[in-house]
């Protein structure tokens, strides 16, 4: 089930923000169920990918 949740979240993120950078895809794949649910909720209101993950944007350097 966790794999399915990660797949749906990745799809939502991609549809809203475009292709996922490697750092974002890795975070989604490695997240637990609680974190995936938090990020799925954040997709509804976030205006940037960084806002979904609550990040400072530093991850973007890692592409």
Q: Burial, 18: exposed, middle or buried (Cβ in 10 Å; 0-12, 13-18, 19+)?
A: exposed
Give the count of domains, the chain.
1
Task: Output the tens digit of pLDDT for each of the chain's 63 residues.
Answer: 788 999 999 999 999 999 999 999 999 999 999 999 999 999 999 999 999 998 755 555 455
Q: Does the residue 63 lie in any domain?
A: no
Confidence (pLDDT) at 46: 95
Q: Does the residue 26 lie in any domain?
A: yes
CB distance 60 to 45 below 8 Å: no
Q: Does the residue 62 lie in any domain?
A: no
Confidence (pLDDT) at 56: 52
Q: Does the residue 38 lie in any domain?
A: yes
CA distance 44 to 7: 17
Q: What is the residue range of 18's domain? A: 2-54
Confidence (pLDDT) at 1: 73
Confidence (pLDDT) at 14: 98
CB distance 60 to 21 below 8 Å: yes
């Amino acid at each position: 089930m966790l794999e399915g949740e990660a797949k749906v979240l990745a799809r939502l993120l991609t549809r809203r923000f475009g292709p996922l950078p490697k750092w974002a895809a890795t975070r989604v794949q490695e997240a637990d169920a609680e974190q995936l649910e938090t990020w799925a909720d954040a997709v509804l209101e976030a205006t940037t990918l960084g806002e979904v993950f609550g990040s400072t944007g530093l991850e973007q350097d890692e592409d």
